Structure 1
Amino acid sequence: MSDAATQGYYTAEEAEAVFQQANDAYGREDYATAQAHYEKLIAHGFGGPDVLYNLGTTHLARGDLGRAVLALEQARKQGGRAADLEANLALARARQVDKVVGAAADEAFLPRLAAATDGAAVAWVFFVAWLVGFALLLFRRVFPSLRRTAVAVVAGLCLTAAVPAAMLLAAHIWVHQNVHEAVVLSPTLVARELPRSEGRSLFEVHAGLKVQLLEETGKYVRIRLPNGLEGWAERDGVAEI
C-alpha cells in the first residue's frame, strides 16, 4: 500500500484492512464494493499512487473511461511509475471515442518533459550537485594542502551537473504553476465558441480525453485539445488531474 497521510478517520492498520477488503472485492469482480472502499480511503486521507491506480483499474473494469483515466493520471502525477499503470492508461485510451490527430506532435515540449521526469528526483539532483560543488570549492580554499586540481575538477563537474538539473527543475515548477490538465468525464461534452449555452458548437469530446484548462468563467471552462483546438465547455463535464 502507498504511504498514508496521518490525518483521517482510520488508523494505519484500519486503512490497510480497508485496502485489502477493496482488493479482495476486486478479485471477486465485485467492482462496486471495491470502488467504494478505495474512495473511502481517499476521502479519509489515505490515497496515493497505489490506491489511485487500483481505483482507476476498477473504473476501467466498470467501463467508466473518464474516471478511469482521471484516477490513473492522478496516480502517475503522484509518482506512480509502474508498467501496469502505463499499460492500463494505454488500454483506456484505446477504448476512447476521440482519436485526436496530431496529439503527439503538437503537445507542448515542457509538459512532455515534466511528465517524463520525476520532479522530486530532479530537485534532489540539483540540490546535491550544487551543495557538493560549492562545498568542495570552499574546502579547496580552507585546506590548501588538498590536491587542488582534483578538487577543482570534481567541484566543476558537480556545478556543471547542477545547471541542467536547475533548468529541468524550473521546467517542472513552470508546468506545475501554469499547465492545468483535466480529463473529460461526461459521455459527450460540447465545446462552444462562447461561454454560454447559446454559443455556437465548435466540436464534441467524450469521456477519457485529456485536455488542458485555460481559464474559467461562471460554469464554463475554456479547454484546449492536444491538437490545439479550443472551446468553452461546462465545468462539471471535466475534472482536473
Structure 2
Amino acid sequence: MKKQVFILLLFLSTLAQAQNPELFEEANNAYANEDFETAITKYEKILENGETSVAIYYNLGNAHYKLNNVASSIYYFEKALQLDPTDEDVQNNIEFARSTTVDDIPVNEETGFQKKFNSLISTFSYNTWAYLAIALSITFVILFLLYYFSRNSLQKRIFFGVAIFVFLLGGISVFFAFQQQEIQFNNQFAIIFAEEAPVKNEPSPRGEAAFSLHAGTKTRVLEDYQEWVKIELPNGTQGWIENNYLKRL
C-alpha cells in the first residue's frame, strides 16, 4: 500500500510538472535520433520554463554522457537524485559516469545508528515524505470519521487503533520530511566543471595549491569568500577553490 501511494503521488507530481509535453517529445525524438546537442537544448529550454522532473534531468544526464561531457552528465544525474533518491536507473547511470572521472576519492563511511537513520531518511526526498504525510493525514481523518460514526463496538476499536497507527506514521513522515530538508539545506554540494582545478590552502591567488580536482568530482560546499569557495571532499579533505571552477547542485 505504501508503495502504491508513493507511485500515485509521484505520477500526479510528474503530471503537474510536465506542462510542455510537445517540447519534451521533441527533445526525446532528437535523443532517439542521436542528435544529442539538439536534445540538450530542448531539455534545457524546458528547465528555463521552470519545469523540472526526474525524467528531464535523467535524459539530460544521458545526452551529456553520450557527448562525453562527464561533469554535466554527473551534475544532471545528481539533480535527478535530489528529486528521487530511489530511482535505480539514475543510480546505475551515475555510477557509470563516475567511473570515467579522474579523481578516485575514498569516502569516510558512517557507522552505527547514524548511518541507519540517515539511510532511512534518504529513502525518499523531502517532497515525497511531505506527500506521504498528507496522504496519511487524509487517511487518518477518514478512519476517525469511520470510528466516530460506527455503531459496532468492535469496528470502533479497530478504526480507532488503525487511526492512531496512521497518525503516528504521519507524524514520523513529517519529521523525516523536515530532517531531509534540513540535510539538503545544510549540505550544499557542487560538481567540478574545470578539466583541472587547483585547490588551495587559502582563498587567495597567491595561496599554495595543495592538490587538484578534475571534471565530474562532487564536493561539499562549506563557505563562500568573495570569488572563492571552501570545499570538503568525501574523505574529509578541505581546501579553497575558485567559484568559476564548479557548479552548485
Q: What is the CA-CA distance between 1:28 and the residue it aligns to?
A: 3.5
Cross-structure match for 1:26: 31
1:90 aligns with 2:95: yes
Q: Distance in 1 between matches of 2:38 and 2:149?
A: 66
Q: Distance in 1 between matches of 2:206 and 2:196?
A: 17
Q: What is the CA-CA distance between 1:31 and the residue it aligns to?
A: 2.6
Paired residue for 1:63, among 48, 65, 68? 68
Superposed CA RMSD in Å reads 3.1
Q: What is the CA-CA distance between 1:23 and the residue it aligns to?
A: 3.0
Q: What number of residue pairs does the alignment pair up?
A: 231
Give the unaligned 5+ runs of structure 2: 1-13
Q: Distance in 1 between matches of 2:211 and 2:84?
A: 33
Aligned residues of 1:106 and 1:228 also touching (Cα < 8 A): no
Q: Distance in 2 between matches of 1:38 and 1:136?
A: 43
Greater CA drift, 159-168 or 187-196? 159-168
Q: Distance in 1 between matches of 2:197 and 2:207?
A: 14
Paired residue for 2:125, among 98, 118, 125? 118
Q: Distance in 2 between matches of 1:41 and 1:125?
A: 27
Cross-structure match for 2:159: 151
Aligned partner letter, 1:36: T
1:35 aligns with 2:40: yes
Post-superposition CA distance 1:136-169 (Å, at most 9, x none): 56876x6695524333322332233234323312
Q: What is the CA-CA distance between 1:231 and the residue it aligns to?
A: 1.0
Identity of aligned residues (%): 24
Cross-structure match for 2:10: none
Aligned partner letter, 1:129: L
Aligned partner letter, 1:211: T
Q: What is the CA-CA distance between 1:95 and the residue it aligns to?
A: 0.6
Paired residue for 2:235, among 210, 227, 234? 227
Give the unaligned 5+ runs of structure 1: none
Cross-structure match for 1:101: 106
